[in-house]
Each structure stands twice: as structure tokens, then as C-alpha cells.
A and B are shown apart, each in its own frame.
Chain A
């Protein structure tokens, strides 16, 4: 891991501990030997109040590549997560996490976390990443809402 990547991640951790949005959590994973792996984080994204997602805190893993912050981290929900812009593998399709689109080295963990929370209730039907959720979202809203609420129960706060 480059020193730039490490230093930045340490700072990200410091900043997060000092100040993070309500209801969120994020912490680096532990390595097998018990030390901290700053390149892999576990985080929880709460659904926004007043939305279908409000009852859940959705777990994600955030993996930082060696050339972070030049390259964006990879954010993953559990495989099979129901959302139009999340791939069957759980990988999130979001422009700020795409190197060729809106990723900027200055984007912080807080911005990423808030960006994902925002994505939950405002999916982008123009860039579908999985079929079931996308199809239901664009063709059968009732069914979509039912499954989302059901899924929220699985991840209750």
C-alpha cells in the first residue's frame, strides 16, 4: 500500500470518528492477526426517514484500491441486494464511484456514504444494474415497494 493511500485513509478514519452523519457507521476491518485493515471497511447506510427504506440500516463493504485516492473505492452491498442500480454481485453503480465519471480524489467517505443513502430512494432507471428491481421499478411500482419494505425488515435498525 502506498504511503499516500495509507495516510489518507488514516485521516478519513479520524475525520469519520470526529464527525459522521447520524445513523451511519463505518469501521475498518480486522486482519487475521487482529491488526486493522484500513483498505477494507464495513459500513452501515440507514434508509432516509420518510422513505420506503427508512426501517433498515444496510450493510456495505468498502474496499480501497492501492492507488486510492487516484482511483475510487469499491462499494458492495450483500450479493442479491434488491435495488435497480446495484449489480447482482452487490456492487454499487454510482457515478461518483466511477473513475471515468465523477470520481474525484477529494471525495470523502462521508460524501460516499451520503451519496449511497441518496441512491437508495432515488434510483436511476437509465443505468440499470440488475433486472428484477429495475423491471419492477419501471413496470410495477407496487411490487417494487413491497419488496423494498420487506427487504428493509431484513436489515432493521
Chain B
């Protein structure tokens, strides 16, 4: 692995570089004298129990250790603060795997003096310990020989051959069983195989993110060996996979952005405030670098006005029902009399319900008697009222109704997203051609964002409506608010359909107003939904 920068010899420079990775916090550093930074550092490197006072019980995920520092630097961080709307403040960073990798490297530079080993060796040990410095240090101080052997850095019986790529004239590799091999690789254990086999083997192992060992024993290959064999810097891939594994293991602190093809990782530093959200029927929303908004608690996209419970129940229900439902909707109709679902398996439209023997017309769902043999006369499309349907049917129908709305708005949001991209592209071209400034076209991306967020809010308002008590007055207000948001969103969406980019620029003010309106309506609907949840009018049931 290539580690740039110098060794950490208790200098405060690397402390700073560690924090500078977070742009948002870099301004804080100036206010704090380096003395306390140094103290903080020593504490959390040498004595793991010390650092636990910042966040008891949650240490397990803090192996990267930088979040604790933030709290030391910024006294206000640990407290749960609220914004104007009474939403608890969440402190988080958006990182990419590359950034995490850099953080790990700088972390490495800091702990290197303790081990007095090469970076390659420490990386192997950290991988073995799933990047938990605390555990590694604990075992290290207890029995360093044991740690070295366990990590595959030392072998018990000393064969001590030289390590690295060897040249031969005629070598028989025992993996591929081919002779005439010229280039081979071996570790100190003396197990020697051809480079092709090693390449094959390493490439296979890279995505697993675990220590890669000798093909015969448990001696570990270091990143430098991997790069030497493959002739590039593939060890970076191993590190990235290793980091992915780390994030998956510590999902309490880190979450992947759930959006397709987005590589962002959100790290929340004040976990204690996370617990505030459910009580207030709110959800901890975070926004990644690519402007994707999602809920840090359940990992779903933004699901306001519903809370996580509503979203969770709804998704569960959708998974459970959707396949059944799709089939039922496509292939069956309910018996107009008893409500049982009937599949039409022949061409004849004269149906006889097997359960209540009611005879009816498939087309108009009326009693067959009235047809008198001439079913073509049925012109009425659908009845409004159904008689005697069972409770379960009712709830299924209700669910279907809301599910349709939900998925329709989901689709629209996707389409709007694509539309937004093309419109943005057009405007970009225009901007270059006639030379208007970037800032002047910002209204467009803001409008698109407002539109998508409006759609998402709308989409998730249907689960809330589904679970809410329909007779309650507040539910009625909620539904009215829904309707208002629908019209606001559709207005804005329509505005975006404008073909000519010049028109878009001309109608800037209109965009602003409509986007603003969508935002206000979204907020109102979200507030209204929260009311329903807080007052127990909307209760997601199992």
C-alpha cells in the first residue's frame, strides 16, 4: 500500500489532517488549542476505556475514532439540539469509500509508533481485528507473539526463505501442475507457486476483503506482495472491500445511501440523538453528497409524513401482498354478492359463483337474470356500491387503492427524475451558449429537487392515510392537504415539461413560486401526518 505523508511522532499535524477531511468541522479546529487535541489523542490511542466516557456502550463502532474527537473539539456536539421545527439535530458526515480509506491511512500513521511495525503488517492485523484498534491493542499488550502468529505475520516453525517473486528456469507448480514455470512467488514459509496461480487466487479473494494468505499455510500476504504479484495497486481493491465489510458490520454508525449506484456512506456522530426521533414520530433524515435523502434509522428513502413504523409496516405489507395482489387484480373479480374472488377460466361471461351460486355478468357485474340472453346490452361500466362484502375484502380493496396511488407516485417520481436530468442538460447547453451564470440556473435544480421531494412526500402520505382512522376529523384534514399537495406537485411537474430551454429561463419566477409552494405544502402535509401519528389516529398494525 502507498502511504503518503510522514510518520506520526506525536506531532499534532496528523491530528489536523485527520479532521480536515471533514470540511464542515475544519473551522472548529482554530478555536481549540493544540494541547487539548494532543491530550485527546493520547487518551484514545493508549487507553480505550478512557474514550468510552464520550459515548458509553456505543464504542464498538467507533474504530475509526474520529467522531469522538469531534465531540471533544466541539462542546455543543454531544447535546441534543433542536432546529426551528423541533426536529432533533443530527450531526453526520457524508463519506465515500475513498475518504474512509484515507481516514484509515491517517489513523494508521498515528498508531504505527505503538507497534513499531511496517504499515503493511499493521494493515494485516487491523483486517484480522475488523479494524478494531481497541481489541487489537488489548491483545497486543497481552501477548504480541500470539497476535503476530494469529494474523499470519510470523510462522511458528522457521523455514525463513526469502520472500517475494523468484525466477526459475523450470519450475513445477503444484497448484496448476504445470512445469516450465519461470516466475514464482513465495513467502518465508517456503511454499512456492507460480505467479499465474497466485494472480488467479488473489483476484478471487480481493472482493472478500479478508486477509489473503499463502496458498498452502496461514502466512499472510501483505498489500505490497499483492501489488507485486499483480503488478498494479490492486491491494486498494482489497482495502475497499475490507472497508465495505467494516461498514456492514457497524451499520449503527454507518449507512450506505440506498439509492442505486450511489457510493456514499453516511456516518452519524451523535447517535444519542437518534433515539429522540421515534418518540416524536420523526425520522432522522440525512442527505448524501449526491442529494439523495434517506432515513438513517430504517435505511429507506425519505418517507415523511409517515414515521419509520408506518414505512416498515407498509413495506412489509407491500412485499407480502404485492405478488398476490397483482395476480388477484389482473385475473379475478369479486363476486358481486358474496365478495369471493373469482378467476375467469373460460370465454363465457355468464359467471356462476362457486361459493354462493350467484349468477352474474363478468362485464357489468350485474345479476344475469336481467340480461335475458342479451348480455351485449350491458353498458353500465361499474357499480359504486357493493353489497355484503366481507371485512377482509374491504381492507384488501382499501389497501389496493392506496397501493396503486403509492406506486403511481413512485413511478412519477422516477419519471420526474429523468425529466429533470434532461432539462438540466438542456439548460446547461443554453447556459454555455448564451453565457448566463451558473448561479442563475440554480433555480432549476432546486425546483427539480422540490418536485422530487414533493412526490416522495405524497407517495409516503398514502401509507399514512391507509393506516389512519378515516372517520376522524384530522384524517379528513390530512386528506385535504394531500389533495393540495397533489395539485401543487402536478403544477410544478407540468411546468417542467416545457420544451424550449429559453422558455425555462424566462419563467424563472414561476418556477420559484411553484417550487416554493410545493415545499410549503409538503411541510404542511408532513406536519399533519405527524399530528395523526402523535395523537394515535394513525396506528400501523401488524
Given contacts A67-B204, A70-B200, contact A7 B176 (CB under 8 A): yes
Task: Indicate if A10 sits at the interface (CB-CB under 8 A).
Answer: yes
CB distance from B159 to the nearest CB of A (A): 15
CB distance from A16 to the nearest CB of B (A): 13
- Chain A stretch 37-70: residues in CB contact (< 8 A) with chain B: 67, 69-70
| Residue from the list A4, A67, A106 in contact with B216, Cβ < 8 A | A106
Q: How far is the CA of A97 from the CA of B193 in the complex (A)?
A: 21
Q: How far is the CA of A142 from the CA of B216 in the complex (A)?
A: 39
Q: Are B175 and A106 in contact (CB under 8 A)?
A: yes
In this complex, what residue of B is CB-closest to A105? B215
CB distance from B414 to the nearest CB of A (A): 38
Q: Are A104 and B217 in contact (CB under 8 A)?
A: yes
Q: Are A104 and B200 in contact (CB under 8 A)?
A: no
Q: Are A4 and B200 in contact (CB under 8 A)?
A: yes
Task: Indicate if A135 sits at the interface (CB-CB under 8 A).
Answer: no
In this complex, what residue of A is CB-closest to B175? A105
Report the interface size for chain A: residues with CB under 8 A from the other chain. 14
Q: Are A8 and B176 in contact (CB under 8 A)?
A: yes
Residues on the A chain within 8 Å of B191, using CB: 106
Task: Indicate if A143 sits at the interface (CB-CB under 8 A).
Answer: no
CB distance from B232 to the nearest CB of A (A): 20
Task: Indicate if A11 sits at the interface (CB-CB under 8 A).
Answer: yes
Residues on the B chain within 8 Å of A11, using CB: 177
Q: Are A105 and B201 in contact (CB under 8 A)?
A: yes
Residues on the B chain within 8 Å of A69, using CB: 175
CB distance from A122 to the nearest CB of B (A): 21
CB distance from A110 to the nearest CB of B (A): 12
Q: How far is the CA of A134 from the CA of B455 in the complex (A)?
A: 58
Q: Are B204 and A70 in contact (CB under 8 A)?
A: yes
Chain A residues touching B, majority SS: loop
Task: Indicate if B230 sits at the interface (CB-CB under 8 A).
Answer: no
Q: Are B215 and A104 in contact (CB under 8 A)?
A: yes
Task: Indicate if B197 sits at the interface (CB-CB under 8 A).
Answer: yes
Q: Which of B174, B177, B178, B204 gathers the greatest number of chain A CB atoms within 10 Å?
A: B177
Interface string of A92-119 (1 = CB under 8 A from B): 0000000000101111100000000000
In this complex, what residue of B is CB-closest to A108? B174
In this complex, what residue of B is CB-closest to A2? B200
Task: Indicate if B96 sits at the interface (CB-CB under 8 A).
Answer: no
Task: Indicate if B359 sits at the interface (CB-CB under 8 A).
Answer: no
Q: Are B177 and A70 in contact (CB under 8 A)?
A: no
CB distance from A112 to the nearest CB of B (A): 14
Report the interface size for chain B: residues with CB under 8 A from the other chain. 17
CB distance from B157 to the nearest CB of A (A): 17
Residues on the B chain within 8 Å of A8, using CB: 175-177
Q: How far is the CA of A102 from the CA of B213 in the complex (A)?
A: 10
Residues on the B chain within 8 Å of A10, using CB: 177
Q: How far is the CA of A11 from the CA of B176 in the complex (A)?
A: 9
Q: How far is the CA of A11 from the CA of B172 in the complex (A)?
A: 11
In this complex, what residue of B is CB-closest to A102? B218
Task: Indicate if B214 sits at the interface (CB-CB under 8 A).
Answer: yes
Q: How far is the CA of A4 from the CA of B174 in the complex (A)?
A: 11
Residues on the A chain within 8 Å of B176, using CB: 4, 7-8
Residues on the A chain within 8 Å of B218, using CB: 102
Interface string of A1-45 (1 = CB under 8 A from B): 000100110110000000000000000000000000000000000
Q: How far is the CA of A10 from the CA of B176 in the complex (A)?
A: 10
| Residue from the list B178, B204, B215 in contact with A106, Cβ < 8 A | B215
In this complex, what residue of B is CB-closest to A15? B177
CB distance from B218 to the nearest CB of A (A): 8
CB distance from B193 to the nearest CB of A (A): 7
Q: How far is the CA of A108 from the CA of B217 in the complex (A)?
A: 13
Given contacts A7-B178, A11-B177, A69-B175, contact A106 B200 (CB under 8 A): no
CB distance from B204 to the nearest CB of A (A): 5
CB distance from A117 to the nearest CB of B (A): 20
Q: How far is the CA of A104 from the CA of B197 in the complex (A)?
A: 12
Q: Are A106 and B177 in contact (CB under 8 A)?
A: no
Q: How far is the CA of A11 from the CA of B177 in the complex (A)?
A: 6
Q: How far is the CA of A116 from the CA of B426 in the complex (A)?
A: 68
- Chain B stretch 187-208: residues in CB contact (< 8 A) with chain A: 191, 193, 197, 200-201, 204
Given contacts A70-B201, A70-B204, contact A104 B177 (CB under 8 A): no
Residues on the A chain within 8 Å of B174, using CB: 106, 108
Interface string of B278-315 (1 = CB under 8 A from A): 00000000000000000000000000000000000000
In this complex, what residue of A is CB-closest to B216? A106
In this complex, what residue of A is CB-closest to B203? A70
Residues on the B chain within 8 Å of A107, using CB: 216
Given contacts A67-B204, A70-B200, A70-B201, contact A104 B214 (CB under 8 A): yes
Residues on the A chain within 8 Å of B204, using CB: 67, 70
Q: How far is the CA of A67 from the CA of B204 in the complex (A)?
A: 10
Q: Are A105 and B197 in contact (CB under 8 A)?
A: yes
Residues on the A chain within 8 Å of B217, using CB: 104
Q: How far is the CA of A67 from the CA of B215 in the complex (A)?
A: 15
Q: How far is the CA of A7 from the CA of B174 in the complex (A)?
A: 11
Residues on the B chain within 8 Å of A4, using CB: 176, 197, 200
In this complex, what residue of A is CB-closest to B217? A104
In this complex, what residue of B is CB-closest to A11? B177
Q: How far is the CA of A4 from the CA of B196 in the complex (A)?
A: 11
CB distance from B254 to the nearest CB of A (A): 23
Q: How far is the CA of A44 from the CA of B218 in the complex (A)?
A: 29
Q: List 8 A-B pairs, minimum CB-CB distance, nearest first.
A: A11-B177, A106-B216, A105-B215, A70-B204, A106-B215, A105-B175, A104-B216, A8-B177
15 A-B pairs besides A67-B204, A104-B215, A105-B201 with CB distance below 8 A are A4-B200, A7-B176, A7-B178, A8-B175, A69-B175, A70-B200, A70-B204, A104-B213, A104-B214, A104-B217, A105-B215, A106-B174, A106-B193, A106-B216, A108-B174
7 A-B pairs in the complex with CB atoms less than 8 angstroms apart: A4-B176, A4-B200, A7-B177, A70-B200, A102-B218, A104-B215, A107-B216
What residues make up the interface of A, taking CB atoms closer than 8 Å to B? 4, 7-8, 10-11, 67, 69-70, 102, 104-108
